[in-house]
Amino acid sequence: MPGLDRPPFPGPLGERIYREISRDAWQMWLEYQTIVINHYGLNPADPDDRAILRAHLEAFLFGSEEELPEEWIPPGAGQPAKGAPARKK
């Protein structure tokens, strides 16, 4: 499978992703990342929220199977909930 053209961000984790993760797996992460950001109301500019996102990234790409956020319902499945769940920190 083709890999990434370059590390997705600087540092050891970016280099590891570049070496070990396929382009398809990275695309899957980007889609999952959107779910995590929206579900937990994360702000990628906030350092604490970036730490949460990084933990999800590492679990998704390198850990055991990452699960979707608790109570997440795919768009179009079931009735829409009113309000978002509380942020997890």
- pLDDT tens readout for residues 9-55: 999 999 999 999 999 999 999 999 999 999 999 999 999 999 999 99
Give the rounded distance of the alpha carbon of 4 from its chain centre: 17
Q: Provide the b/e sequence for 5-31 (b: ≥16 CB within 10 Å).
A: eeebeeeebeeebbeebeeeeeeebee
Say if CB 23 and CB 3 are below 8 A apart.
Answer: yes
The model carries a pTM of 0.70
CA–CA dist 4, 19 (Å, integer): 8
